[in-house]
Chains A and B, each alone.
Chain A
Amino acid sequence: MRRLRRRSGPWRSRLRPSDVLVTGTVGLRTRRARAALTAVGIAIGIASMVSVMGISSSSRADLLAALDELGTNLLQVRPGQDAFGESATLPADAPSMIRRIGPVDAATSLSQINAKVLRNDRLPAGTQNGIEVYGSEANLAATLGAGLAAGRSHDAASVRLPTVVLGAVAADRLGITDLSSGPRVSIGGQWFDVIGIYEPLPLNPDIDRAALIGLDVARERFEVKALPSAIYLRTAPEQVEQVRDVLARTAKPGNPNEVSVARPSDALAARAEVDRNLQNLLLGLGGVALLVGGIGIANVMVISVLERQAEIGVRRALGATRRHIRNQFVVESTLLSFIGGVLGVGAGFVVTAVYASRQGWQVALPIQGLVLGIAAALAIGALAGLYPAARAARLDPAEAIRPAA
């Protein structure tokens, strides 16, 4: 059979760019309900991705702000275990030894006292409230950066008197919120004036459940040695690691292995990391939703092409080229997905804003997230439309107009 090189003739089909767009909307306008339902598929995917990005970036912004405020230069020294797995102790001079390390700006020690705190001395001795009593130093609040919800913290004078400062949880459990009536509590059977209540300390949750009395008062009244059960110290920010390395040896030169050293801010930073894993999981789910949405569009477009065979045939008869038909359907599916993308970004923004305001966060939605959402929708729509559009363009016009029975 002879091969002909076919050429262009004196007539050319032309479709204006604005008409390409208009023909792309024909299917959407004539099948509105279907278009809306299909767009919702994409909207859900985009909305979940945008809100995941928005919520996690709002939460991380909040967490990082908190870390900034609390500082990452706080270190904690506690007694660990000895070689036999028994609880070890810290020497009584450990705090003063640690204060001698150059980059250590401040250090304060807590010594646990085996005594019960009760609202009054008439409660049975067996009453449990989970509040620990510590002997503490006057520089505790300054070293930890602890804020006061009421009253004041210990100073050089009050630390030598039978006074107590309560952690936030401890005060709550004892039912003390107001210091104007001069409340007292019974600690180990002795009366102590409550002079202050700390605000919650995110880096030192132990102190939230503590009743803090002066170390010297504790030794005197309860006749105990009161060895340090925790030492908190602030270092120069750039030398945290170096200080950390020498802390164990300094605190207990004989047995550094029996000392446990930690950086409380690591726990918060870890939370940010955990959030990131969760975010990836949710983003993955959003991606799956988007994929399903894309498949939904492709499906609906395939059905649409089948239903609209006659229209395709008529358009070909009226002079549309295969390319015109293909573009019409690609534009249609892209528009469909774009509508879904816009709806999804809007919904994602609303979800983020509502969630963030409930948590008391600033709304931090990266603009890239919005642009990315729309771009993803456009790309998915165009991709999903390619196959149905190619099928539409391949249709034989004669058969499309009059499908074989």
Chain B
Amino acid sequence: MTPEAPVLELQDVVREYPGSPPVRAIDGVSLRIDDGELVAIVGPSGSGKSTLMNLIGTLDRPTEGRLLVEGIDTGLLSDPALAGLRSARIGFVFQQFHLLAGMNAVDNVATGLLYRGESRRRRRRRSVAALERVGLGHRLDHTPNKLSGGERQRVAIARALVGDPAIVMADEPTGNLDTVTSTEIVQLLHTLHEEGSTIVVITHDRELAADLPRRVTVRDGRIVGDEGPTAARRRLEQEVAS
């Protein structure tokens, strides 16, 4: 892992689904996300942003092009090695929360560390800390059915963060929440970003995206826009370098 390597880099990534003719869901996307960024990938439904999210999360593989996580070409990794990469370096937040029913908040968060072989006690300790970080220190023993939607999403965010991943993928994190709760969750994402986490939010919600420092717009499988303060600074840096 080279220190200057970006957290995530896509080089001419193509994802084609078989058929006649084959469907190009992602058509030559190049994208670089650096440590500590908070990025929105925004686009209407059918734009290919879900495919992009699966590719970035290494749940799917590109048909062409390269995807590098911390400088490592994921195309060279075996399936179990990719699982290892996810367990160590990528956190996921889903629209439907996807918490495990019948398990309390701490145990749910601890599943974020389950596949790292850490001891039960250590998993529990880190999970409690993560829940406190998202403001749920008072809900440790609650099962999902006793939590509100916003609280559930906070548990899911804690689960994504608990292993200190290089990048957190949040797929429509406010999609199932009311406006007030959505604002709270977005506020939480900002706070985590300020504390140093790298977060990618995938959304169709332009309003939500507008709040974030960098906005990558996707349409028909291509990137059609990359704006915001971070993006501007990036372009400036690149010009200076060349």
Contacts and interface: CB of A to CB of B under 8 A. Distances in A.
Interface of A: 4, 6-16, 18-19, 23, 26, 29-30, 310-311, 313-324, 396-398, 401-402
B81 A11 contact: yes
A10 B1 CA distance: 9
Nearest to B116: A14
Given A314-B92, A317-B59, A15 B84 contact: no
Given A26-B100, A397-B59, A318 B112 contact: yes
Given A23-B114, A314-B92, A317-B92, A401 B80 contact: no
B48 to A, nearest CB: 13
A318 B92 contact: yes
13 contacts: A4-B75, A8-B77, A11-B88, A13-B80, A16-B117, A18-B120, A30-B102, A311-B100, A314-B100, A315-B111, A318-B86, A318-B87, A319-B114
A12 B94 CA distance: 24
Interface in B37-68: 50, 54, 57, 59-60
B66 to A, nearest CB: 12
Interface in B100-118: 100-103, 111-112, 114-117
B72 A314 contact: no
Nearest to A1: B63
Contacts of A396: 60
Nearest to A323: B80
A25 to B, nearest CB: 11
Contacts of B86: 13, 316-319
Contact of B84 (A4, A6, A9): A9
On chain B, which size bracket covers the interface? 35 or more
Contact of B83 (A19, A26, A316, A401): A316
A372 B120 CA distance: 35
Nearest to B86: A319
A18 B120 CA distance: 10
A311 B100 CA distance: 7
Nearest 5 CB-CB pairings of A with B: A319-B87, A14-B117, A319-B115, A11-B84, A30-B102
B85 A316 contact: no
A147 to B, nearest CB: 67
A88 to B, nearest CB: 83
Given A13-B116, A318-B115, 7 more contacts: A313-B98, A316-B86, A317-B59, A319-B116, A324-B83, A398-B60, A401-B59
A93 B60 CA distance: 102
Given A29-B102, A316-B59, A321-B79, A15 B114 contact: yes
B2 interface: no
A318 B117 CA distance: 12
A308 to B, nearest CB: 9
B152 interface: no
Contacts of A324: 83, 115
Contacts of A9: 72, 76-77, 81-82, 84-85
A394 to B, nearest CB: 12
Contact of A7 (B76, B98, B101, B117): B76
A320 B94 contact: no
B115 A310 contact: no
A318 B116 CA distance: 9
A315 B92 CA distance: 11
B81 A6 contact: yes
A292 B83 CA distance: 37
B114 A11 contact: no
B51 to A, nearest CB: 8
A6 B78 contact: yes
B181 interface: no
A317 B80 CA distance: 12
A8 B77 CA distance: 6
A319 B72 CA distance: 17
B128 to A, nearest CB: 18
B89 interface: yes
Residue picked from B96, B111, B114, B119, most chain A C-beta under 10 Å? B114
Given A14-B116, A16-B117, A6 B83 contact: no
A8 B80 CA distance: 7
Given A4-B75, A6-B78, A13 B100 contact: no
A26 B104 CA distance: 12
B57 A317 contact: yes
B59 A12 contact: no
Contacts of B101: 30
B78 A320 contact: no
A293 B96 CA distance: 35
Contacts of B54: 398
Nearest to B78: A6
B77 A7 contact: yes
Contacts of A6: 75-79, 81
Contacts of A7: 76-78, 81
A310 B76 contact: no
A206 to B, nearest CB: 71
